[in-house]
Amino acid sequence: MSGSLLDAGAVIGCPHGGRVTAATTPSGGVRIGGMAVATAAHTYVVAGCPHTENGVHKPCVSVRWTADGAGITVDGASVLLDTCAAQCFTAAFVPQGPPVVQAAQRKVIVR
């Protein structure tokens, strides 16, 4: 799998427009343009998701990423690419759809 490497500054949203951020700041020694490389070891949360179902607010609150298995790691954890599979979840762990990577580092492309 190929794609652009995600870092702590990547702009990511849930499928309903909420903002995805790293709850645990990527802090490894590998940086791109001063930003830490994102890995599957970090926890990601969603803020501001407006999703409702039958009038009940059911927002996305977390994201789980599936690393691509390309063998590229930082501090022992697989790096995240903009092409990695991921899923947004409610607080009850109901899947809500994949996050949308709106902007990622284009300086490092993994193939």
- In tens, the pLDDT along 59-98 reads 999 999 887 666 788 888 888 888 889 999 999 999 999 9
Residue 10 has pLDDT above 80, yes or no: yes
- In the structure encoding, which two tokens stand for residue 110, read together? 């993994």
Q: Are 35 and 42 a contacting pair, CB within 8 Å? A: no
CB within 8 A of 71, min separation 6: which ones?
A: none
CATH class of 3-110: mainly beta
pLDDT value of residue 83: 85
Average pLDDT over residues 93-106: 85
pLDDT value of residue 106: 60
Taking the C-alpha atoms of residue 82 and residue 22, their distance in angstroms, rounded to an integer, is: 15
pLDDT value of residue 87: 96
pLDDT value of residue 69: 62
pLDDT value of residue 110: 55
Q: Which amino acid is at 11?
A: V
Rounded mean pLDDT of the chain? 84
pTM: 0.83
Residue 43's nearest CA partner among 60, 24, 19 is 24
Segments making up each domain of the chain, as ranges: 3-110
Taking the C-alpha atoms of residue 18 and residue 74, their distance in angstroms, rounded to an integer, is: 27
> At 12, is the pLDDT very low, low, confident or very high (cuts 50, 70, 90)?
very high
What is the number of residues in the chain? 111
Taking the C-alpha atoms of residue 58 and residue 52, their distance in angstroms, rounded to an integer, is: 5
Taking the C-alpha atoms of residue 99 and residue 11, their distance in angstroms, rounded to an integer, is: 10
Q: What percent of the chain has pLDDT over 90?
A: 40
